[in-house]
Amino acid sequence: MFGRLGAPEIILILVVIILLFGAKKLPDMARSLGKSARILKSEAKAMKSEGQDNSTAASAPPHEETSAQRTIKAAPGDVTGSRPVTEPTDTTKR
């Protein structure tokens, strides 16, 4: 009964969605859904690589980080807005 949807049923569903949400909000909703999917994908990838790093880090000795450079991201998963930043060091003595 629910296994086969034809063209008329799909068109009817799309018309109901457009009537419920409005044509102006649909592009914004699709854009936010795409952003959410990209964030989820990048976080899952980071968790997977973190799990692999933890298994190799247990056998390797810890090392000191000498660079004061880090990357600031505009939003989680947003790689287009990221830029490397060097943090200023305080040379004054208190």
- Torsional class of 26: left (φ above 0), alpha (ψ -120 to 50), beta (otherwise): alpha
Confidence (pLDDT) at 57: 56
pLDDT along the chain (94 residues), means of 10: 80 88 84 94 90 66 54 60 63 66
Report the C-alpha gap between 71 and 86 in whole angstroms: 9
Confidence (pLDDT) at 31: 92
What pTM did the predictor assign? 0.40
DSSP 3: S
Segments making up each domain of the chain, as ranges: 1-55
| 23's tokens | 């044509």
* CB distance 69 to 86 below 8 Å: yes
